[in-house]
Chains A and B, each alone.
Chain A
Amino acid sequence: AQSVTQLGSHVSVSEGALVLLRCNYSSSVPPYLFWYVQYPNQGLQLLLKYTSAATLVKGINGFEAEFKKSETSFHLTKPSAHMSDAAEYFCAVTLRGSARQLTFGSGTQLTVLP
């Protein structure tokens, strides 16, 4: 079984500041990890994914995440927040090899202050 914990249901940053959204996972076997973004009343858009290649993964819109096995973490970062980054962000895990259902965290709402 696998699970995901996203610390902080709401995060506020100033425009231009560092964005750090936390995700810790639990998995009995090596996982695949994903970050998705959801804008209001829209579906989920894939930001980036970790599938056992490089541990530092770069995604769209300047986001990146680092897989740290020792810390069971996959935190999402962006050096400089933009107003358009305001959205809800979901971390998700699935089991490598079976890769069926995604298990999602409860989400983090990011607010960007002017």
Chain B
Amino acid sequence: NAGVMQNPRHLVRRRGQEARLRCSPMKGHSHVYWYRQLPEEGLKFMVYLQKENIIDESGMPKERFSAEFPKEGPSILRIQQVVRGDSAAYFCASSPRLETQYFGPGTRLLVL
């Protein structure tokens, strides 16, 4: 059973461009979570999704950020018009039910 997959592992964008981060949960997991880790900080919750539904987006910035988890395919975290402050590691986690979350390797976003 493959773990949580994230791609790309590293992403470089210039200010104003769009960033798309992908997450494929573990097989059989229907719950997906996105977290952001700023340098020298712990992880901060962004959004929790189930298939085709956003359950909790209380940690998402109100503008430029969006997330989806379609019926088919990976979950996508989209950041429009990136700014330097968006540079961070973005982690996806999945769980089979409301308990243990298993994390992917992360996408490290660098905004120039």
Chain A residues in the interface with B (C-beta under 8 A): 32, 34, 36, 41-46, 49, 51, 90, 97-107
Min Cβ gap A74→B in Å is 15
Contacting pair B43 A90 (CB below 8 A): yes
Give Cα distance in the complex from A91 to B63, angstroms. Answer: 30
Chain B residues in the interface with A (C-beta under 8 A): 4, 6, 33, 35, 41-45, 48, 55-56, 58-59, 91, 93, 98-106, 108
The dominant DSSP class at the A interface is: loop
Min Cβ gap A37→B in Å is 11
Among B6, B41, B59, B99, which residue has its beta carbon within 8 angstroms of that of A99? B99
Contacting pair A101 B45 (CB below 8 A): yes
Contacting pair A36 B103 (CB below 8 A): yes
Contacting pair A32 B99 (CB below 8 A): yes
Min Cβ gap B84→A in Å is 20
A-B contact count (CB 8 A): 56
Min Cβ gap A29→B in Å is 14
Contacting pair A43 B104 (CB below 8 A): yes
Contacts of B100 in A (CB 8 A): 34, 46, 49
The 8 tightest CB contacts between A and B, nearest first, are A99-B98, A101-B45, A104-B42, A44-B103, A43-B105, A43-B103, A106-B42, A104-B43
Given contacts A43-B91, A44-B91, A99-B99, contact A104 B44 (CB under 8 A): yes
Among B4, B56, B103, which residue has its beta carbon within 8 angstroms of that of A101? B56
Contacting pair B101 A102 (CB below 8 A): yes
